[in-house]
Chain A
Amino acid sequence: MSAARQPLPHESAHLHVAGEATYIDDIPESRGTLHCAIGMSTEAHALIQTLDLDAVRAAPGVVLVITAEDIPGVNDCGPILHDDPILADGEVHYVGQPVFAVIAESREQARAAARLGKISYKPLPALLTPRQAHAAGAYVIDPMSLTRGEPDKALSAAPHSLSGQFDVGGQEQFYLEGQICYIIPKEDDGFHVYSSTQHPTEMQHVVCHALNLSQHQVTVEMRRMGGGFGGKESQSAIFCGIAAVAAAKTGRPVKLRPDRDDDMLITGKRHGFAYDYEVGFDDEGRILAAKIDMIANAGFSADLSGPVATRAICHFDNAYYLENVAINAYCARTNTQSNTAFRGFGGPQGALAIELIIEDIARTLGKDPVDVRAVNYYGKQDRNVTPYGQVVKDNLLHELLPELLDSSDYSARRKAIADFNAGNSVLKKGLAVTPVKFGISFNVKHFNQAGALVHVYTDGSVLVNHGGAEMGQGLNTKVAQVVAHELGISLSRVRASAADTSKVANTSATAASTGSDLNGKAAEDAARQIRVRLAELAAELYDCKAADVVFADDKVTAGSTQIPFSELVATAYTHRVQLWSDGFYKTPGLSWDKDTLTGNPFYYFAYGAAVSEVVLDTLTGEWKLLRADLLHDAGNSINPAIDIGQIEGGYIQGMGWLTTEELCWNDKGLLTTHAPSTYKIPASNDCPPVFNTSLFKGENPADTVLKSKAVGEPPLLLGFSVYFALRDAVANARADNSHALYVAPASCEAMLNAIAK
């Protein structure tokens, strides 16, 4: 039996449950390790007038204090533009921005000392919301726009039209393991960096730039993260940069693990978006024209906002054909944390807007939103070109939706809910179905490459190393399954090792859901080369054709001979056959013109849909998710258990974004929800009592690894259905039954306001 396609446990599950899985803070500290803490800005926008750090230097245990001047190389950790200082240099741009760092004998000493800095500021005007910044014309990059067809003309000709404003908040990643970097100086000006990061290569670059080093001097190693969700793609850099300067200056190992509150105050989050839209449609609800301005809250610097906005543009269509469409995207420069990647990377923010529009069209026409969606889905033969010019060839929604509506008993429940609402004045129920179509690949073509190394040892055990970062998504498990499948051996023979820039070089971030697509293919390529060599040897030894040699069940069959895999390997060694190989993969067929925002940015699309039912208390705005039905397309799944875990986890995380997770900044620009005491991610009672999740059967028509599909980000959008179910309940509670909720998250307070509006 092949190791692939099995619902096998996560490769580290037995370690997780025993507390034996090693995270960076669990690595035994080297002798002489120092600890670092960060002194942060208390102003949203100001010039630093004086920086008095004498008390910090004099505090117990303090070894060194560093400021921007102490950085020998470039004071920048911006992943694309160079507008992101590691330590503020003269001017601060948000409350929480790192200004100086203290290095002390213990972490507690460093943290205590970091509070003693005396900084005087000359305040400058601050922009705190995306709409404010948009009104001021303040952007981190130039606005982007994409138009297809003749939206203005179609809008004025449309029988019906709607326009409005909608605002959605950001989202804190809340990885359970906070940011951490541990750097150990090595001989001959080398550095070994442990960073909890989705992008070891980028961390290598940041350390090199900060210290003026060549890349071969710096190794970044990352065995596992306690969650990333995008928050450790670029934002781990600030901690690597600071720790690197500290390690270089002191010549001693330095660990920087910010406290949770500091982590939340310093690092960027999912971009909140503000939208202004106008849409024209016919009697069936078919969208004839759509125009939207999307204003992303970029925060103080560009970070990844450009690509995030691009993905938002490319997902405004979600599952729907928009013949005449105009999309303007603005990355508003506000004096807040620099917002960054978060699972979905702008895709959710793009798609959320069109889903809201569809819901409004349905209420306006008195139709079931399911029917309005159906008339707008991309067609199979026609109406199948996205606004950015890519043809949708693999649309599954025409099959997937009916299957889900049927399995979830949608129609009967719609009716039952209407009855319930008619008989209850305090409680109102809501129901919603939302689909997702999500483009897979990095929009930047050259990021779509990966490398791997596979070593087969003489005892038949196998070690695989690849450029991807394990953050809980099961990447290492899937890659190991692919290698085991390719070599016809059981998974227990294959072990995956830590991502390490000294093994596979020049890696891409583990992001955009591409981890197993890219690294799985690269590992498959490496394993295949070894298998081919082994097959050639077996053919020669046992007198058959190499093509006829079969690798399965830990055995190799060549002609009439069957021998254990390990025996063939041992023989191959004595025959001087190379038993290790590199592997490489680049995604074919991609193109993207960033000036016109057109091309084929995605290798394929992943699909899914969810039905959620809620009940809302109209006296308080409290609510409960009663039932969820998810049907999602993972292609021909490499590991159904892991994929279901991604789907459910993504759904609940998407629900959190749009319900209980509310980021609040006060009028001074201080994030007041900077700890789990005030920032509420879903907890165990938020898991619905009825929770049905299935994989849609089918395989990826694109030539992906084992015909699977990426599954990291797309399911996050399934959480939309909870938001729209609540919005349905709010409308059901209103005297005129109209929609009135135009903000997300749907906090209890926001819903009560919407009912009263």
Chain B
Amino acid sequence: MPTTTDISFLLNDEPQQVSQLAPTLTLLRYLREHLDLTGTKEGCAEGDCGACTVVVGEKDGDRLALKTLNACIAYLPTLHGKAVYTVEYLRRNGGAHPVQQAMVDCHASQCGFCTPGFVMSLWHHYETRIDQGGTDRAELANALAGNLCRCTGYRPILDAGEQMFKLPPVRFDFAPARKRLDSLPGGSLHYEAGAGRFYAPDSLDELLQLRRQMPDSTLLAGGTDIGLRTTKQFRDTGPLIYTLNVPELHELTVDDDVLRIGAAVSLTDAYKAVCKDYPQLAELRDRFASPPIRNAGTLGGNLANGSPIGDSAPWLIALGAQVVLSNADGDRTIALEDLYTGYMQQSRKDDEILRSVIIPRPVPGLQFHCWKVSKRYDSDISAVCGAFALQLEDGKINKARVAFGGMAATCARAGGCEAALNGKPWNKTTLAAAMTALDSDFSPLSDMRASAAYRQTLARNLLQRFYLLSGSDINPAGEQSLRAFTLPENTL
């Protein structure tokens, strides 16, 4: 494939061609400062408020797959080959779009600063749900989890989300845009502007070569963390190598015994696949950052980032997942927990990339769960995330894997706890011993999310919750009676 040197994308159906702008220029700044499209707002510049929400259309076979995106941390070159829609697009037919009309009718804006972001999240929801005939409140609240409003208290916005489906529908035809994406220059992108360099290889081979050639480069996937290095910390990233245009990294296969998820598969798609096997992860999925962050972020990025408070590593470690690491010399497969060697340190070599994740599928006798605890339900970073996987046979624990985030310098297994569980009946006595063992497994830190003591308590109590759901010597409780968030409405 030929190499392209300029960034090309569609913006509100108009082609954009960009050269000479720094590759770390965000889409938000490009819209506001270069195009005077000021409908999209900046509230935080870190992906936490949703004021900058736009919708992006990507090629998905012959259709355009729409997703929400935080423009404030999206580097412009990552939009290459895509279609971007901003709030200005919605009134293209003249009148207000049903989303906008519903927001007005329901009195869903006060200061109005958050409003364009909400409108775009709602519009995305509208486009993806209208064929199903609408939505419900819970689904809406989750769809809006990445949008903060300080004025309204959300009730009128949620009302508007229901109301928009009751107004005369407005459908846009995305087929022409999808077609036009094919006529944009394709191939691998080598973008240079001033000192900035951005490479978007379109094959795994090229990616691995580039990485080997440029040891000072930064691998960029969804950019939900790297974006902050430039918007907040003014750090030099070196050349950026963007991994998401590499088709091999998007492979997602379901074998009899394992799921293989390519590193570039978005968190949205990865969790969709995983939740089919492990529906108990649905709450974690909904609480994992926010929809736009899950759309941008990837499972591979979440793991390769190596944060001790990432929410995917604990359950993957508990399930015994492996990661495939690749460099130009070949692949190797290691247990996920062996990737992490210390705080933000990994056994991954400089020229290796995380290629895919291999996740065992459920087997009979497996008891598994994972929960995070954070200050806020929506879009918050875990104080503790605990995952528990017990292989039970005749009420006895054959194999225990227990892993936590937020308890140590890396996401890690709780060895002492596992030892206290292995080979024991899954009963109250074993629980007590395992809870005690947990105390010496970790010495967590105190910070603004939680004190060390609270983290220790949470680790113990999450294990207790797991026991209450799956213990062999009790009549296991239903999750509904244990979880404040899942309390059924009829108990109101």
Q: Mark B154-183, 1 if CB is under 8 A from A, else 0.
A: 111110000000000000000000000000
Q: Which residues of A contact B110 (CB under 8 A)?
A: 10, 227, 472-474, 645, 649
Q: Mark A8-19, 1 if CB is under 8 A from B, else 0.
A: 011011111111
Q: Which residues of A contact B447 (CB under 8 A)?
A: 672
| Those of B434-492 within 8 Å (CB) of chain A | 447-451, 454, 457-458, 461-462, 464-465, 468, 477, 481-485, 487, 489, 491-492
**Does A574 have its Cβ within 8 Å of any Cβ on chain B?**
no
Check B104–A14 contact: CB distance below 8 A. Answer: yes
CA distance A446 to B481 in the complex (A): 57
Check B148–A176 contact: CB distance below 8 A. Answer: yes
**Does B349 have its Cβ within 8 Å of any Cβ on chain A?**
no
Check B481–A177 contact: CB distance below 8 A. Answer: no
**Does B111 have its Cβ within 8 Å of any Cβ on chain A?**
yes
**Does B412 have its Cβ within 8 Å of any Cβ on chain A?**
no
Q: What band does the interface of chain A fall in when counting residues whose beta carbon is under 8 Å from B?
A: 35 or more
Q: Which residues of B contact A676 (CB under 8 A)?
A: 43-44, 46, 48-49, 148
Given A626-B487, A684-B141: A472 and B112 interface contact (C-beta under 8 Å): yes
CA distance A690 to B491 in the complex (A): 12
Check B46–A260 contact: CB distance below 8 A. Answer: yes
**Does B303 have its Cβ within 8 Å of any Cβ on chain A?**
no
CA distance A420 to B490 in the complex (A): 12
Check B150–A620 contact: CB distance below 8 A. Answer: no
**Does B397 have its Cβ within 8 Å of any Cβ on chain A?**
no
**Does A241 have its Cβ within 8 Å of any Cβ on chain B?**
no
**Does A261 have its Cβ within 8 Å of any Cβ on chain B?**
yes
CA distance A623 to B485 in the complex (A): 7
Partner among B87, B107, B140, B232 whose Cβ is within 8 Å of the Cβ of A10: B107
**Does A551 have its Cβ within 8 Å of any Cβ on chain B?**
no
Q: Mark B370-389, 1 if CB is under 8 A from A, else 0.
A: 00010111111101000000
**Does B63 have its Cβ within 8 Å of any Cβ on chain A?**
no
Shortest beta-carbon distance from A659 to chain B in Å:
9
Q: Mark A253-282, 1 if CB is under 8 A from B, else 0.
A: 000000111000000000000000000000
Check B150–A619 contact: CB distance below 8 A. Answer: no
Q: Which residues of B contact A617 (CB under 8 A)?
A: 482-484
Q: Mark A635-646, 1 if CB is under 8 A from B, else 0.
A: 000000110110
**Does B90 have its Cβ within 8 Å of any Cβ on chain A?**
yes
Check B46–A225 contact: CB distance below 8 A. Answer: no
Check B468–A426 contact: CB distance below 8 A. Answer: yes
**Does A534 have its Cβ within 8 Å of any Cβ on chain B?**
no
Check B107–A174 contact: CB distance below 8 A. Answer: no
Check A748–B373 contact: CB distance below 8 A. Answer: yes
Given A19-B38, A677-B46: A662 and B448 interface contact (C-beta under 8 Å): yes
Shortest beta-carbon distance from A737 to chain B in Å:
20
CA distance A681 to B458 in the complex (A): 23
Partner among B41, B48, B119, B375 whose Cβ is within 8 Å of the Cβ of A748: B375
Q: Which residues of A contact B451 (CB under 8 A)?
A: 749
CA distance A226 to B110 in the complex (A): 9
CA distance A673 to B375 in the complex (A): 12
| Nearest CB in chain A to that of B111: its residue | A472
Given A19-B87, A426-B482, A675-B48: A686 and B109 interface contact (C-beta under 8 Å): no
Check A681–B375 contact: CB distance below 8 A. Answer: no
CA distance A684 to B454 in the complex (A): 26
Given A177-B113, A224-B112, A420-B491: A622 and B104 interface contact (C-beta under 8 Å): no
Q: Which residues of B contact A32 (CB under 8 A)?
A: none
**Does B145 have its Cβ within 8 Å of any Cβ on chain A?**
yes
**Does A209 have its Cβ within 8 Å of any Cβ on chain B?**
no
**Does A511 have its Cβ within 8 Å of any Cβ on chain B?**
no
Partner among B232, B450, B462, B487 whose Cβ is within 8 Å of the Cβ of A259: B232
Check A678–B484 contact: CB distance below 8 A. Answer: no
**Does A495 have its Cβ within 8 Å of any Cβ on chain B?**
no
Q: Which residues of A contact B150 (CB under 8 A)?
A: 173-176, 227, 229, 649, 653, 681
| Those of B88-111 within 8 Å (CB) of chain A | 88, 90-91, 96, 99-100, 103-105, 107, 109-111
Check B115–A16 contact: CB distance below 8 A. Answer: yes
Q: Mark A212-241, 1 if CB is under 8 A from B, else 0.
A: 000000000000111101000000000000
Q: Which residues of A contact B88 (CB under 8 A)?
A: 18-19
Check A752–B454 contact: CB distance below 8 A. Answer: yes
Shortest beta-carbon distance from B300 to chain A in Å:
22
Check B448–A685 contact: CB distance below 8 A. Answer: no
Q: Mark B32-52, 1 if CB is under 8 A from A, else 0.
A: 100010111111111011010
CA distance A177 to B45 in the complex (A): 12
CA distance A420 to B48 in the complex (A): 37
Partner among B119, B381, B448, B461 whose Cβ is within 8 Å of the Cβ of A619: B461
Shortest beta-carbon distance from B20 to chain A in Å:
15
CA distance A224 to B41 in the complex (A): 14
Q: Mark B179-219, 1 if CB is under 8 A from A, else 0.
A: 00000000000000000000000000000000000000000
CA distance A229 to B376 in the complex (A): 22
Q: Which residues of B contact A747 (CB under 8 A)?
A: 375
Shortest beta-carbon distance from A375 to chain B in Å:
30
Check A13–B464 contact: CB distance below 8 A. Answer: no
Shortest beta-carbon distance from A259 to chain B in Å:
6
Q: Mark A106-125, 1 if CB is under 8 A from B, else 0.
A: 00000110010000000000
**Does A21 have its Cβ within 8 Å of any Cβ on chain B?**
yes
Check B141–A111 contact: CB distance below 8 A. Answer: no
Q: Which residues of A contact B158 (CB under 8 A)?
A: 684, 687
| Nearest CB in chain B to that of A15: its residue | B112
CA distance A683 to B376 in the complex (A): 8
Check B38–A641 contact: CB distance below 8 A. Answer: no
Given A112-B234, A653-B153, A683-B145: A226 and B112 interface contact (C-beta under 8 Å): yes
**Does A624 have its Cβ within 8 Å of any Cβ on chain B?**
yes
Check A680–B484 contact: CB distance below 8 A. Answer: no
Most buried by B among A173, A178, A620: A620
Q: Which residues of B contact A662 (CB under 8 A)?
A: 375, 448
Selecting from A23-31, A128-136, A516-524, the interface stretch reads A23-31
Check B45–A259 contact: CB distance below 8 A. Answer: yes
Check B107–A427 contact: CB distance below 8 A. Answer: no
Check A111–B41 contact: CB distance below 8 A. Answer: no
| Those of B338-384 within 8 Å (CB) of chain A | 373, 375-381, 383
Q: Which residues of A contact B458 (CB under 8 A)?
A: 620
Most buried by A among B111, B377, B381, B457: B111
Most buried by A among B103, B116, B376, B379: B376
Partner among A7, A10, A178 whose Cβ is within 8 Å of the Cβ of B43: A178
Given A177-B41, A686-B378: A652 and B154 interface contact (C-beta under 8 Å): yes
Given A23-B41, A426-B482, A685-B377: A645 and B492 interface contact (C-beta under 8 Å): no
Q: Mark A308-347, 1 if CB is under 8 A from B, else 0.
A: 0000000000000000000000000000000000000000
CA distance A756 to B255 in the complex (A): 47
Partner among B111, B448, B450 whose Cβ is within 8 Å of the Cβ of A227: B111
Check A427–B141 contact: CB distance below 8 A. Answer: no
Check A13–B448 contact: CB distance below 8 A. Answer: no
Partner among B43, B48, B378, B468 whose Cβ is within 8 Å of the Cβ of A677: B48
Check A626–B492 contact: CB distance below 8 A. Answer: yes
Q: Which residues of A contact B484 (CB under 8 A)?
A: 427, 615-617, 622-624
| Nearest CB in chain A to that of B143: its residue | A684
Partner among B46, B379, B454 whose Cβ is within 8 Å of the Cβ of A683: B379
Shortest beta-carbon distance from A492 to chain B in Å:
14
Check B380–A624 contact: CB distance below 8 A. Answer: no
Shortest beta-carbon distance from A517 to chain B in Å:
19
Instruction: Given A617-B482, A624-B487, output 8 extra A-B contacts at Cβ < 8 Å.
Output: A176-B41, A259-B45, A644-B107, A648-B155, A678-B448, A687-B158, A690-B492, A693-B155
19 cross-chain CB contacts under 8 A: A9-B105, A13-B104, A19-B116, A22-B38, A173-B150, A176-B148, A227-B113, A619-B461, A624-B484, A649-B153, A662-B375, A675-B44, A680-B380, A681-B150, A683-B144, A683-B379, A684-B140, A684-B158, A684-B378
CB-based closest 8 A-B pairs: A19-B39, A472-B111, A226-B113, A16-B112, A652-B153, A472-B110, A19-B87, A683-B378
